[in-house]
Amino acid sequence: MDSIRLLSLPQDILILLPEYLYTIEDLINTASTCRRLRECMAAATPKVILRLAAAQSRIFFRPSPHFLATATARQLGNWARESATNEQELAEKMQEGIEGLLELAIDHCGLTLERIQELHLLRFSLINPIANIIDQCVGKQWYQTPNFWDGGVDDAYTISAEPSETLFHLAMYGELFAPDFETILNQDVDTRKLSVQTRLDFIKYCVPDFACFQNGHITTNDAYMPDGSIDPRRDVKATGPYATGSDGRMPYTHNNNIALTWVIRSSRFRPRYKEVRAKAGVPDFQGDFDDGWWYDEGLDQDWRQRLWEDIMMCQGLEGLGMLIPDHEDQWMEKIREWRDKIARLDREPPLTKVGRQATLEYPYLLGDLRICASGYVGGT
């Protein structure tokens, strides 16, 4: 159909055209044809725009599917909080990996063209600079440190990681689970939080690592329930990123869990948050806080400091702007507000024990990571 015949169609038909396009590039090119079609393309719903963007995620939204899954994760988490049924569907799709998250987002979430433009601007002002910091923690820059294995770094280890993917793993966790911090801080008992089980499913399948798969198949006593079944929080199915190929082998994956743990613990990463807290003009609860790999190592640490640091680190993609001078000022008031609310809490949120490890009722990223990889680095 040529453009003249197309434009002869009634307006109420033309505004349906976005639903029959294939890619986001089709939408943009059609919108640039003439004023009338531009107006019709502007009628595209956020859900349609997300579907069109996903069709070209490997071209315009790299890394794929991490970029778009992160862009929609907060919406998806809020949808899951609406009911136990929704949360169960989210947990099941997580078993397909990040690809499963994006598929679910296409069904229940959306993006506007304005938001896509904002995200692409963030690539230059935030994403690339943060990826550079992470590269200094677990990437090529880290390995290029002189005398790497002989004291050049204080955390030398063999880790295979892609810094940009590690960044999006951190950002995606925050986008999904950050709203649950406010529920804890406001002591709101009526608002649904996503469960520890859902958080662990995210770590196991969306931050895939052989360490997680191995840990899920350790036949130790603490991996089993009283009825003899494997604790579902420890179990890892051979699905999604762990599914075997036609040759019967599991595809190679990066050390995503271990890489993210190393970033959190890195002396090139954590002190940056300490600096921004100092700029906010409020003191730490514990200046020498060190939340070790093992939960037992953190028992004598100030739980308020742990909560404060975890909240700051797990605020999603734009929350990583706390580490960038051009973005940090917008977070100063929020940092002070978090500290005030934590100071008013009279006790630490409850622990959740999983075997010999423990995490917390609030989104405790380091605790979640080490539960899923225990038995690989260190003990069980």
| Number of helices and strands in the chain (H, E) | 23, 2
Domain ranges of the chain: 135-373
| Per-residue confidence (pLDDT) for residue 378, from 0 to 100 | 45
Q: Which two tokens stand for residue 300?
A: 């004598």
Q: Is the pLDDT of residue 14 over 80?
A: no
pLDDT of residue 376: 60
Q: How far apart are CA 276 and CA 286, in angstroms?
A: 15
Say if residues 54 and 100 touch (Cβ distance below 8 Å): no
Contact yes or no for 80/90 (Cβ under 8 A): yes
- Give residue 356's pLDDT band: very low, low, confident or very high (50, 70, 90): confident
Q: Which residues of 199-225 are buried (b: 16+ CB within 10 A; e: fewer)?
A: bbbbbbbbbbbbbbbebbeeeeeebee
Which value, to the nearest 10 degrees, does the dihedral of the CA atoms of residues 20, 25, 30, 34 take? 160
- Element at 354 (helix H, strand E): strand 351-354
> Could you give the CA distance from residue 87 to residue 375 in angstroms, rounded to a whole number?
28
Nearest to 179 by CA among 352, 368, 328, 362: 362
- Over 60: is that where the pLDDT of 293 sits? no
Q: What's the chain's Rg over C-alpha atoms? A: 22
Nearest alpha carbon to residue 156 among 281, 265, 246: 265
Q: Which pLDDT band holds residue 144 (cuts at 50, 70, 90)?
A: very high
The predicted structure's pLDDT at residue 215? 63
Averaged confidence pLDDT in the chain: 87
* CB distance 194 to 361 below 8 Å: no
* Per-residue model confidence as pLDDT tens digits over 158-174: 999 999 999 999 999 99
* Residue 81 host element (H or E): none
For residues 121-151, one letter each, b for 16 or more C-beta atoms within 10 angstroms of the residue's C-beta and e for the rest, the string is ebeeebbebbbebbbbbbbeebeeeeeeeee
Residue 31 near residue 37, CB atoms below 8 Å: yes
pLDDT value of position 23 = 87
pLDDT tier at 4, thresholds 50, 70, 90: low
Binning pLDDT at 50, 70 and 90, where does residue 72 land? very high
Least confident of 98-112, 212-226, 314-328: 212-226
Split at pLDDT 50, 70, 90, the class of 106 is very high
| CA-wise closest residue to 369 among 289, 264, 239 | 264
> How far from 41 is each of 47, 98, 241, CA to CA, in Å?
13, 29, 36
Q: In the beta sheet, which residues pair with residue 358?
A: 353
Q: State the number of CA atoms in the 13 A half-sphere of 123 facing the CB.
A: 13
Q: pLDDT band at 249, cuts 50/70/90? A: confident
Distances (CA, A) of 149 to 129, 143, 220, 270: 26, 9, 33, 22
Residue-level pLDDT at 10: 66
pTM for the structure as a whole: 0.91
Q: What is the pLDDT of residue 261?
A: 94
pLDDT computed for residue 374 by the predictor: 74
Which pair of tokens denotes residue 93?
A: 């799709």
